[in-house]
């Protein structure tokens, strides 16, 4: 009887493990990823990181259900904000991440850039290994009968950066991931921007509290937008805010429907920016046919995540101030 009691859970865990490993005992990318995480971190947080990497749609759905159930107040909201969050990027800043020419050593970005207490470190290798993969948020909505209005399946809009995570993802999601060149990554970022997607650098606790991916987020599907709508501050502003040259503005309203954050208002026939709502993504700038819109720094929105300044060798915070 004791053997059955003990053997049942062990057998279940073994079956789960085989499912995670796509019915192999150990895929090539698994051991390097576990070794990188370390034994303690694997036990305390890496296991849900493995779940995230193997079946992101169910993972995202779990967080979404919990967010709705718990609301903007309480421990879950604070945990989500601090352990899994994104920093809005302009296209230029997003492209700079995949264009680094020298290694960026691990460093804490600080509260001026990433205003959270955890998961705000960044380390990037020059000429990094890059994989584009399916967005779990968009795929989840498709399965629920609400396909993304900005993209078509298979929703390959997430750009993962750096080994061993790229190898792990390719092994565990081979049908929804592929390795790409730096040039292709730069081209994709331009395409995503043209579609009105918001670039965001995401940081996660179970990925050693580090940056790991540039997601290209839509307002209709992505978890960060959904949690923001219920008051969970999972996305940090870029550090910029849109500005309108009223003399050049023709009041055509072309850019108005493109703003992902609903920050454009028409006042006396002219376009105005609600600075409190604007996150500084820059989508509206390229949609204005008159060239009347620009992005300007806004210290109230924090500092930009500019890896070009990280590469300069000088103090990051000194350069940004």
- Going along the chain from its start, the domains and CATH numbers come out as 2-238 (no CATH), 240-299 (3.30.70.20)
Binned at pLDDT 50, 70 and 90, residue 321 comes out as: very low
288-308 mean pLDDT: 94
- Mean pLDDT of the residues in the chain: 89
Please enumerate in sequence order all residues whose Cβ is within 8 A of that of 69, keeping only pairs 6 or more positions apart, or say none: none
Query: What's the CA gap between 213 and 132, in Å, rounded?
Result: 9
Query: What's the CA gap between 76 and 153, in Å, rounded?
Result: 31
pLDDT at 309: 86
pLDDT at 313: 56
Tokens matching residue 251: 């009041």
Lowest mean pLDDT, pick from 33-42, 168-177, 204-213, 290-299: 33-42
290-296 mean pLDDT: 96
pLDDT at 161: 95
pLDDT at 315: 46
Q: Is the pLDDT of residue 43 over 80?
A: no
Task: Name which residue leads in pLDDT, 45 or 163.
Answer: 163
pLDDT at 310: 81
Q: Is the pLDDT of residue 3 over 70?
A: no
Q: Is the pLDDT of residue 53 over 90?
A: no
Distances (CA, A) of 319 to 235, 259, 271, 316: 24, 30, 33, 5
Tokens matching residue 262: 């609903």
């Amino acid at each position: 009887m004791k053997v059955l009691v003990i053997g049942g859970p062990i057998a279940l865990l073994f079956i789960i493990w085989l499912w995670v490993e796509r019915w192999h005992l150990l895929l090539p990318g698994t051991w390097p990823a576990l070794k990188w995480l370390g034994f303690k971190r694997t036990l305390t947080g890496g296991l849900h990181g493995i779940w995230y990497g193997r079946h992101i749609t169910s993972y995202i759905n779990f967080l979404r259900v919990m967010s709705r159930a718990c609301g903007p107040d309480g421990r879950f909201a604070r945990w989500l904000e601090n352990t899994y969050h994104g920093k809005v990027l302009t296209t230029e800043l997003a492209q700079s991440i995949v264009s680094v020419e020298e290694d960026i050593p691990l460093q804490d970005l600080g509260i001026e850039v990433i205003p959270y207490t955890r998961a705000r470190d960044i380390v990037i290798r020059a000429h990094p290994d890059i994989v584009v993969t399916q967005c779990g948020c968009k795929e989840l909505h498709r399965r629920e009968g609400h396909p993304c209005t900005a993209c078509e399946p298979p929703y390959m809009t997430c750009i993962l950066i750096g080994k061993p995570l790229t190898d792990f993802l390719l092994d565990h999601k081979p049908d929804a991931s592929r390795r790409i060149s730096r040039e292709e990554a730069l081209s994709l970022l331009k395409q995503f921007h043209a579609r009105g997607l918001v670039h965001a650098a995401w940081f996660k606790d179970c990925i050693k509290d580090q940056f790991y991916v540039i997601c290209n987020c839509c307002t209709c599907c992505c978890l960060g937008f959904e949690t923001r709508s219920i008051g969970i501050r999972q996305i940090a502003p870029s550090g910029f805010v849109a500005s309108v040259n009223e003399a050049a503005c023709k009041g055509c309203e072309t850019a108005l429907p493109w703003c992902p954050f609903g920050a454009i208002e028409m006042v006396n026939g002219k376009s105005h920016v609600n600075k409190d709502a604007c996150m500084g993504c820059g989508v509206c700038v390229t949609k204005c046919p008159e060239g009347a819109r620009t992005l300007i720094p806004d210290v109230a929105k924090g500092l930009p995540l500019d890896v070009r300044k990280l590469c300069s060798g000088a103090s990051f915070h000194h350069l940004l101030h």
